[in-house]
Amino acid sequence: MSITLQLPAVLAKLADGRRSLEVQGSTLGDVVADVAARFPGLAPRLRDAAGKPYPFVTFYVNDDDARLSGGFAASVRDGDEIIVVPAIAGG
Amino acid sequence: MTTSVAPPLALRPRPQVCRACGALHEPAPIAVCEQCLGPLDPVFDAARVLPTRDAIAARPWSLWRYREWLPFDGEPVLSLDTGGTPLVEAPRLAARLGVARVWVKNDAVSHPSLSFKDRVVATAINAAAAFGLDTIGCASTGNLANAVAAQAARAGLKAWIFIPEDLENAKIVGTAVYGARLIRVRGHYDDVNRLCAQVADEFGWGIVNVNLRGYYGEGSKTFAFEIAEQLGWRLPTAVVAPMAGGSLVTKLRKGFREFSAAGLVSGGAPRIFGAQASGCAPIVRLVRENADAIQPVVPHTLARSIAIGNPADGLFAKRAIIESGGWAAAVSDTELVAGIRLLAEAAGIFTETAGGVTVAAALALAAEGRFSPDDEVVLCITGNGLKTVDAVAPVLPQAPLIAPRVAEVRALVKAADAPTVKESL
């Protein structure tokens, strides 16, 4: 078992067209670093130059907004599903 | 023999530009920048010919009379009769707030679905039609669901509508009746919103507040345009509006500024004041603490129509408020219910919970000294009280049941000196 990262279409093209990736890490930040190393073109879309999350990109761990559980410090483990969603909707 | 008539100039959505990085995108049902994932806004042709006051005034009384400021070229084809709601002066509210004048911009009577959301759907559904989409949808706290369902039904489009599981029954019925596919989702609005972002990505539908969001949001400006025209082509000094995702306050400011830039109105830009329920007030916190990042919250409030714990436009809303010289306030559920009653008793307008928040926040802002005696204030009332009767019903007096005898009425008249909400607020 491993962790799954789901990408929106707009980002999948930067990950060889794959919408779903198997990823590694014990925190969300680890996972983002893992993905950034494997797909360098994706890296600047997921985090800024200082390694911080963007306000426009929301990460969900098992349907919960990761910002409610520490952001990039949020713990993840085998079997978790991480969803990346551009924060564009509302109201 | 047939005769050919030249068809009207087909509606063409405008290109969009990224608010974060400035990248230009061709017209498409997308709302996210492919370069940086920032939000997209329509761009207008700076050389377009703008109408005069008289030209606007000669047009039909709908939001399309301001079409040069809406994100299309050509003629709209759908929802042509939305907009044009009353601006009602409320002198007793002015006295309560200690200001010169108060008006209520009353989208509680918006056509066709009794909320401000009719405006944004009117523009989004024209974009959907122009893009050839046969299915539209939304993530909604209720009012948007009603507006999408009604306007899709009229246009002959399919509608898939996603709502939180705990919405008021009136908003569920007021969506399902139009034949829309209505889906209740376990969780809060923010869960529904995230799901709809994925749905838009997967199915290619026109989710009005997701992938049509750039075209949808511009419809909000017509709220500001109408206020300016109804005041006699001038601007109020202050506006109080409810905040959910935060878009409305940004579009109010944009609308007022666009009319100023066009030379259509007199007066400086109004101060914009934002209102939220204290059980879901992430934008108020941004403003009052001068924070630089939204801290999402799990909503706990009666005001379900504005219960968005992760407002996508929160930072932009804060900027619009601060730059305008305004402020923000949060009010309790008890205060919002009192706000509903005050608006009804002082202005004859029955609003839903979001309107109660707006009125109560105006009172709180007045108590903080945020208004001056010469202020002219517009309260933005965005929804109808008949959709949230359960919020206010428990605090209203029971109607006495009597026999059909004058003596019983006489006794009631004698006892009718009890204080009303006007005194007790």
User: With a CB-CB cutoff of 8 Å, which residues 174-233 of chain B face chain A?
Assistant: 187, 190-191, 193-194, 196-198, 201, 207, 209-210, 213
> Cα B187 from chain centroid?
23
Tell me the percentage of chain B whose pLDDT exceeds 90: 87
pLDDT at B321 over 90: yes
- In residues, how long is chain A? 91
Tell me the nearest-neighbour CA distance from A86 into chain B, angstroms.
Answer: 6
- pLDDT at residue B4 in the model: 45
Find the mean pLDDT for residues B362-370. Answer: 98
Q: Which of A6, A63, A91 sits opposite B244 (nearest CB)?
A: A91
- How does residue B418 score in pLDDT terms, banded at 50, 70 and 90? low
* Mean pLDDT computed over every residue of chain B: 94
Q: Is the pLDDT of residue B238 over 60?
A: yes
- Asked if residue B40 has pLDDT above 60, the reply is yes
Q: How confident is the model at residue A89 (pLDDT cuts 50, 70, 90)?
A: low
- Strand order through the sheet with B206-207: B181-185, B158-164, B135-139, B206-207
Nearest CB among B37, B244, B315 relative to A10 is that of B37
Closest CA to B331 of B388, B279, B392, B271: B279
Per-residue pLDDT reduced to its tens digit, B6-25: 545 689 999 999 988 999 99
Average pLDDT value for residue range B97-118: 98
Nearest beta carbon to residue B37 from set A45, A65, A68: A45
The structure tokens listed for B78 are: 């759908």
A17 close to B (CB below 8 A) = no
B197–A68 CB contact, under 8 Å: no
Any A CB within 8 A of B296 CB: yes
Residue A33, H or E segment: helix A28-38
**Is residue B71 within 8 Å of residue B14, measured between CB atoms?**
yes
Residue B230 contacts residue B263 (beta carbons within 8 Å): no
> Residue B3: is its pLDDT beyond 50?
no
pLDDT of residue A91: 52
Contact B248 A91 (CB under 8 A): yes
- Rounded to the nearest 10°, the torsion over CA B279, B285, B287, B290 is 180
Looking at the partner chain, which of A11, A56, A85 has a beta carbon nearest the beta carbon of B20?
A56
| CA pair distance B249, A91, nearest whole angstrom | 12
CB-based contact, A58 to chain B, within 8 Å: yes
Beta bridge mates, B69: none
Q: Is the pLDDT of residue B48 over 60?
A: yes
Question: What ipTM was estimated for this complex?
Answer: 0.89
Instruction: Estimate the crossing angle of helix B221-230 against helix B247-261, to 10 degrees.
Output: 50
Condensed to tens digits (0 to 9), the pLDDT of residues B257-307 reads 999 999 999 989 999 999 999 999 999 999 999 999 888 899 999 999 999
Q: Which pLDDT score is estimated for B419? A: 57
Q: Is A43 on the interface with B (CB under 8 A)?
A: no
Length of chain B: 425
